[in-house]
Amino acid sequence: MAGEKLWPLFVWWRKRGAPSRGPTSDEVRTAKDILAGLVAQQWFEEMALRSLGDPAPMPVPWSSTERRELADHPEIIARGTVAFPGLAVHIADLARNFRALRCRRLVILGDPGTGKTTLAVQMMLELLRTRRPDEPVPVLLSAARWDSQRHPRLQEWLTASLAMNYPALLAEGLGPDIPETLVARGEVLPVLDGLDELPDQARADMLTALNRSMCDKHQLILTCRTTQFAAAVDKIGDVLTAAAVIEPHVMSPAVAADYLEACLPPVPRPAWPPILEALRSGTAPALAQITSTPLGLWLVRATYIAPGVDPSRLLELGRGGTAELYDHLCDQLIPALVSTLPPADGPVQPFRPQHAWSPEQVGHWLTYLSRQLSRDPSDQRDMAWWHVARYTSSRPVQVGAGVVIGILAGTGALLLTKLLHAGASIGVLFALGVAIWIGSWFTEPPGHADFHLRGRLPELLSIGRDALIIATLAGLVSALTTFAIRPDLKAALMGAWAYAVLAGVGYLLVYGLIRWVERPTTGTTARSPQSTWRADRNLTFIRILAGLGAGLALSVVGLMAKQLWSLVIAAGLVLGLLIGLLLGKHHAWLAYILTIPRLATKGRLPLRAMDFLDDAHRLGLLRTEGPYYQFRHVELQEHLARQPER
């Protein structure tokens, strides 16, 4: 499966390195039509699955923002009147106004649950439906997946994303370098969703990168929460160049009732007409308050209309308090979403889970996480995967790991020395040392491997200098020891040379390599929880490989000392593995791996916890902000945290 995903990128990379004739105009037009068809098929299916456009888009009124500090000069945004001046705007009108912009750039702002992503998807599909041959193809991408340090220009990342997500563009019949050509010619309209899901500094860096990447022909649609966008604009001291900025307004009870009625079958359940009448007449104030926003309207539709359940309680609770109605909708939300959103059957389906979980499991595990967040005095919103290691005592793991390592080390010492007391002593020392050493793993932040050379020459020279010193000392000690035992200068120098090389290489493979590549994950490098988890895992594997290399070097030393080769190699590999695991400053992935099975046996989280969190994000229950997961709706988090512990 991994090979299938990496093959398109390999083919695209190979094509880039070879001279080619360049695609013809016909090939470019064909590629655009193929891309437009793939995007439309993908998102029409998602829209149908989520019922976002059935029977019509949610009637949210949007208009140009009144916060002048968030938008560019009006005369730069559009010729003549300011775009998006009205409230009752249909998707077709929004698309028409978008095309009237000078540079066709749009920022969609709003508070949580106001329908920013939904509007972006609906606009993308409308632009596809009415696309003329000379217009670019809109493609929706998650802003959190753009690493602006790895791809400083938007066009570089957009090219790589097209090659990865739409491998049909790499077909031989379309000509060479089609993804790069489409992007370079401005034939792709990026729709970047979820700028607010990045950390503060990364969000500001992305706005800066966008302004530096785009010229007058480049188009863009961007979604972000209003508060986070305003903070990023203030941080960089500039707006998104030539972009119109729109925000939503509340919906009236009559509009909400009309929308719900249109979503119902022609002959609805008997309980629905009284509910809609109460909403229109104002006799259900709690229901009117909740349905004044897209989030509340979506909650009602997701929990009662989509599953087709009896809505009788909706009228009763709609006449009461808003908090009570919210709690009731939160109770129904998880079972409704899990039952109506089946697992995905393809990789590019971001709004569908990848695995099958029961509603009871999802509710139980999210309740546990919400309760853990409520107990955190420092931050009750950000859910970090490496914090899972703090949810239970690490002492049993420390003791267990110490015992296992102690047994291995003691057994190896016993076989090498043939002395029982030596094996026992070394085993006890290793057990105590490991048990104490790994205690810090459970509080360490994640890290990542950085192999970049630019600007790091002094660091490399420092590591090389230290390796040379270690090698010199090892050679000197070896020469003096050998000469003292047998005064043969030639033999002493030959042995010293070998030991010096082994010591220097061993230092470079283990401490030097780890010291050079290991870096903490900061706000600018943490793009998403999944990428941060994988980066720390990869760093662990690099340390293990380096440790095994050092272990082989130690095995060579043992062979030079005429020890049994099988025993020496086994001992060297075990010791190298231990060195690779213990060295370094970032062991968050190891702590996670050691903790999750214990939580899973207690039923608090699944064994595939990261898969579950990703699926909860796909279901719309969680969102991401940099390396953290957050409950998308704080009402759901607070509701779950109040549930009695089972």
Q: Which of 153-162, 274-283, 393-402, 456-465 is predicted least confidently?
A: 456-465
Q: Is 4 helix (H, G, I), strand (E, B) or coil?
A: helix
Distance CA 45, CA 345 (A): 12
Distance CA 84, CA 86 (A): 6
Q: Which of 120-129, 328-337, 563-572 is predicted least confidently?
A: 563-572
Phi (first) and psi of residue 451, to 5 degrees: -100, 10
pLDDT > 90 in the chain, percent: 22
Distance CA 355, CA 364 (A): 16
Q: Which of 59 and 139 is assigned the larger pLDDT?
A: 139
Mean pLDDT of the residues in the chain = 81
Q: Characterize the bridge pairing of strands 62-64 and 383-384.
A: unpaired
526 falls in which pLDDT band (50, 70, 90)?
low
Q: Is 453 exposed, middle or buried (0-12, 13-18, 19+ CB in 10 A)?
A: exposed
User: What are the C-alpha distances in Å from 121 to residues 333, 575, 595?
Assistant: 22, 54, 39
β-sheet bridge partners, residue 526: none
**Stretch 613-626: mean pLDDT, rounded?**
84
- pLDDT number for residue 488: 64
pLDDT by residue (tens digit) across 419-431?
Answer: 787 778 888 888 8
For residue 441, what is the DSSP state?
A: G
* CA nearest neighbour of 449 among 527, 509, 520, 528: 520
Interacting residues of 281 by C-beta distance below 8 A, sequence separation 6+: none
pLDDT by residue (tens digit) across 113-134?
Answer: 788 888 898 899 999 999 998 9
Q: Is 105 helix (H, G, I), strand (E, B) or coil?
A: strand
Q: Is the pLDDT of residue 293 over 80?
A: yes
- pLDDT number for residue 413: 73
- Structural domains in the chain plus CATH codes: 2-248 (3.40.50.300), 253-340 (no CATH), 359-391+604-641 (1.10.10.10), 449-526+540-578 (no CATH)
Q: Is 150 helix (H, G, I), strand (E, B) or coil?
A: coil
Q: Which of 470 and 424 is assigned the larger pLDDT?
A: 424
Q: Give the dihedral sign, CA 181/187/193/195.
A: positive
pLDDT by residue (tens digit) across 78-98?
Answer: 876 655 655 455 788 888 889
Distance CA 205, CA 235 (A): 9
- pLDDT number for residue 623: 77
Tokens found for residue 11: 């083919």
For residue 219, what is the DSSP state?
A: -
Q: Is 429 exposed, middle or buried (0-12, 13-18, 19+ CB in 10 A)?
A: middle
**Stretch 5-26: mean pLDDT, rounded?**
57
In angstroms, what is the C-alpha Rg of the chain? 30
- pLDDT number for residue 496: 67
Q: Report yes or no: 278 and 284 within 8 Å, Cβ to Cβ.
A: yes
What element of type H or E holds 493? helix 489-507
- pLDDT number for residue 441: 86
User: What are the C-alpha distances in Å from 231 to residues 235, 267, 438, 453?
Assistant: 6, 49, 39, 33
User: What are the C-alpha distances in Å from 122 to residues 40, 51, 58, 228, 624?
Assistant: 11, 12, 10, 23, 22
Q: Which of 646 and 536 is assigned the larger pLDDT?
A: 536
Q: Give the dihedral sign, CA 284/286/291/297.
A: negative
The pTM assigned to this predicted structure is 0.65
* CA nearest neighbour of 185 among 216, 209, 218: 218
Phi (first) and psi of residue 317, to 5 degrees: -75, -30
Determine the Cα angle at 359 with ends 354 and 360, to 5°.
125
Q: Is 496 helix (H, G, I), strand (E, B) or coil?
A: helix
105 falls in which pLDDT band (50, 70, 90)?
very high
- pLDDT number for residue 122: 86
- pLDDT number for residue 7: 46
* CA nearest neighbour of 72 among 196, 200, 209, 233: 233
39 falls in which pLDDT band (50, 70, 90)?
confident
Return the beta strands (E) in 71-144 as ranges: 105-108, 137-142
